Amino acid sequence: MASYRIQLAVAIISSLLLLFPSTQGWGEDGHAIVCRIAQARLSSTAAAAVKKLLPEDAGNDLSSKCSWADHVRFIYTWSSALHFADTPEDACNFNNQRDCVDQANGRCVVAAIANYTNQLLDYGSVTKSKYNLTQALYFLSHFMGDIHQPLHCGFTTDRGGNDITVHWYKQKQNLHHIWDDSIIETEVERFYDSNMDDFVDAIQQNITKVWADQIEEWENCSSKDIPCPTIYASESVDDACKWAYKDAEEGSTLEDDYFLSRYPIVNLRLAQGGVRLAATLNRILDSQELQKSM
Ligand SMILES: [Zn+2]
């Protein structure tokens, strides 16, 4: 009964969220893009495991569950702090001790990625896991997206840009939302005739052509870690300072100058999120891959 009530509450909140989109995390589109890129890069063993972990209603489409973590954040209130890792104002670097470990008992997106990776490592073990591995997959897939959104590693003082009000062309908007949704929306509308599939195709082509010689570096960690979220957070806070906050003060109007110089950063971060989610899932779910990385 309790689980039925939770499911009902999730369904009601999910439909409310469609009316009032969240300003926390890539929007639904950004998360779906990261998961589509990732699922297409899974090894056959990892792909089979993901298919098994997904419920029937997902139709073996990981992207359909990639915003689940946003939909449950008001029910699982403990999960709210797991979507970001903000830094002190103008720090422009990520310090795990300062920005994660000491914050709300080590709750931040960096620790969350490590935690759900560890939970998923139970997949395939002989004894039944004490964790809900389907939810671990949803959380990991979502947080791997969030950590690549620069303003998820923005400043605590303005809540990652949520408290900075600007104009996106003619529309009043907060800076965080512009990085979650508006840049992607404007890009898809202007360059891809509002066709999301064409946008995903274009990013995938860039992965195999423009960024081909960087993929190995994106996928691998210098240590034996399976993912290396402190690196991803460091890149994000660097981008937040260099690109997101720059020329975007309270009351600014952001138009083509801002959009045309920032959308390539958004594309790169979506691509890196997808490539790294795939590499992580391959390492976790494909024991042969795990052997290779040891
Ligand atoms: Zn999120």
- Domains defined along the chain, listed by start: 2-293 (1.10.575.10)
Give SS3 for 133.
helix
CA-to-CA distance for 55 and 146, rounded, in angstroms?
23
Kind and range of the H or E element at 267?
helix 256-285
Q: What does the pLDDT read at residue 17?
A: 44
Which amino acid, residue 79? S
Q: Are 69 and 79 in contact (CB under 8 A)?
A: yes
Mean pLDDT confidence for 75-103: 92
Give SS3 for 172.
strand
Q: How far is the CA of 26 from the centre of ligand 1 (A)?
A: 7
Residue 6 has pLDDT above 90, yes or no: no
CA 185, 186, 189, 195: dihedral to nearest 10 degrees? -30
Backbone angles phi, psi at 91, to 5 degrees: -65, -40
Q: What does the pLDDT read at residue 101?
A: 80
Within its chain, how far is the Cα of 152 from the centroid? 9
Q: How far is the CA of 274 from the centre of ligand 1 (A)?
A: 15
Q: How far is the CA of 269 from the centre of ligand 1 (A)?
A: 15
CA-closest candidate to residue 237, choices 58, 90, 124: 90
Q: How far is the CA of 291 from the centre of ligand 1 (A)?
A: 31
Q: What does the pLDDT read at residue 293?
A: 55
What confidence tens digit (pLDDT) does each residue in 108-146 have? 999 999 999 999 999 988 899 999 999 999 999 999 999
Chain-wide mean pLDDT for the chain?
91
Q: What does the pLDDT read at residue 102?
A: 73
Other CB atoms within 10 Å distance of the CB of residue 164: 23
Q: How far is the CA of 24 from the centre of ligand 1 (A)?
A: 5
Q: How far is the CA of 171 from the centre of ligand 1 (A)?
A: 23
Q: How far is the CA of 187 from the centre of ligand 1 (A)?
A: 21
CA-to-CA distance for 203 and 201, rounded, in angstroms?
6
Q: How far is the CA of 227 from the centre of ligand 1 (A)?
A: 18
CA 4, 138, 233, 13: dihedral to nearest 10 degrees? -40
Q: How far is the CA of 109 from the centre of ligand 1 (A)?
A: 9
CA-to-CA distance for 174 and 188, rounded, in angstroms?
20
Residue 15 has pLDDT above 50, yes or no: no
- The pTM of the full predicted model, rounded to 2 decimals, is 0.90
Q: How far is the CA of 141 from the centre of ligand 1 (A)?
A: 10
Q: How far is the CA of 126 from the centre of ligand 1 (A)?
A: 32
Q: How far is the CA of 142 from the centre of ligand 1 (A)?
A: 6
Residue 203 burial by CB count (10 A; 0-12/13-18/19+): exposed, middle or buried? buried
Q: How far is the CA of 139 from the centre of ligand 1 (A)?
A: 9
Q: How far is the CA of 127 from the centre of ligand 1 (A)?
A: 31
